[in-house]
Amino acid sequence: MTLQELRYLVALAELGHFGQAAEACFVSQSTLSTGLKKLEDYLGTTLFDRSLKRVTPTPVGREIVESARLILQEAERIRELARFVQDPMDRTVQIGVIPTLGPYYLPHALMRVREAYPNLRLLLREVMTPQLLAQLHEGKLDAGLLALPIDEEGLTVAPLFTEPFLAAVPAEHKLAKKAKISLDELTQANLLLLEEGHCLRDQALEVCGLQGLASEEVRATSLETLRQMVAMGIGVTLLPRLACNAPSLPGIAIKPLAGSGAGRVIALIWRKRTPYLDTMTKLAKTLTQHLPEGVKKLGDS
């Protein structure tokens, strides 16, 4: 049993097609098929059901695929430990970022990181929290920037800052004349939310005490859509502070929330057994030392 055979195994399980898996592994289809047959002969069991339109792992095959992923991650960890022992900040790191944070935080973060570590290359991918966590565990991402809390084992969590929530209302709305807006006033004024799957939706519901709400007529697919809907007078919403730094839309008034202290904690997370421990630790430290306008260090009032 070889690491290459395990790579064939994982690729076929993920793609469900021999040709696509072979292309992903940069080998011919016959080479991949031969390698998988050797692996099945060695293990004495059938790993894939080939009778289906999409090649699918058998029940025991699924368990072996998960073990193979762990083995490949550990092999990569060994390789990276040996390769980058001299300079932990001279490497490429793949980071997932939630969509409600990426456009508003990354320009600032990338500039600060590039100034501090010009040889550190960050490959960034916008992805919602459930997919980010899954890809982190699968080794497809090295780290993630997201909002807490998360309930996952095997991860290191480095909180970076607290980002307050603000109220966004149509400029002509009666609430736009107020210095501050209470949560009660906001929830009674046709509260608009993001669609299911965005952690910001769940956080907004929790802040407003509306967990379980499922009756909205309209749900936005992104913060920019949400902002446009408010500008059109369709309703009101909560926005994270950094999203309010973006170029403002005509027709929107941004107001602080009265006495709520509502917000979210943004963190950098990575696998506890990452080969990039020094990299992640230094990256987190740099990000906490250079915060964008409008957010707060943890513990600040």
Task: For 156-212, write each residue's pLDDT tens digit.
Answer: 999 999 999 999 999 999 999 999 998 888 888 888 888 877 888 878 777 776 655
How confident is the model at residue 157, as a pLDDT? 96
Distance, CA of 108 to CA of 110 (rounded, Å): 6
3-state secondary structure of 259: coil
Domain boundaries of the chain, sorted by first residue: 3-83, 92-161+264-289, 164-261
What is the CATH code for 92-161+264-289? Answer: 3.40.190.10
Q: Which of 21, 43, 41 is nearest to 31 (CA)?
A: 21
Q: Which fold has domain 3-83?
A: Arc Repressor Mutant, subunit A (1.10.10)
Residue-wise DSSP of 133-146: HHHHHTTS-SEEEE
d(CA 206, CA 124): 29
The tally of CA atoms less than 13 A away on the side-chain side of residue 139 is 17
> How far apart are the C-alpha atoms of 227 and 252, rounded to whole Å?
8
Task: Give every CB contact of residue 178 below 8 A, 6+ residues apart in sequence.
Answer: 185, 255
Please state, in angstroms and rounded to a whole number, the distance separating the CA atoms of residues 43 and 60: 11
Which pLDDT value is given to residue 109? 92
CATH fold for domain 164-261: D-Maltodextrin-Binding Protein; domain 2 (3.40.190)
Confidence at residue 301, expressed as pLDDT on a 0 to 100 scale:
52
pLDDT for the residue 216: 54
CB 235 within 8 A of CB 192: yes
Identify which of 22, 127, 142 has the alpha carbon closest to the alpha carbon of residue 14. 22
Q: Which helix (H) or strand (E) holds 278?
A: helix 277-289
Do the two domains 3-83 and 92-161+264-289 of this chain adopt the same fold?
A: no
The predicted pLDDT at position 217 comes to: 55
Neighbours of 210 (CB within 10 A): 14
Higher pLDDT, 35 or 213: 35
Contact, 172 vs 233, CB < 8 A? yes
Strands 237-240 and 219-220, how do they pair? Answer: unpaired
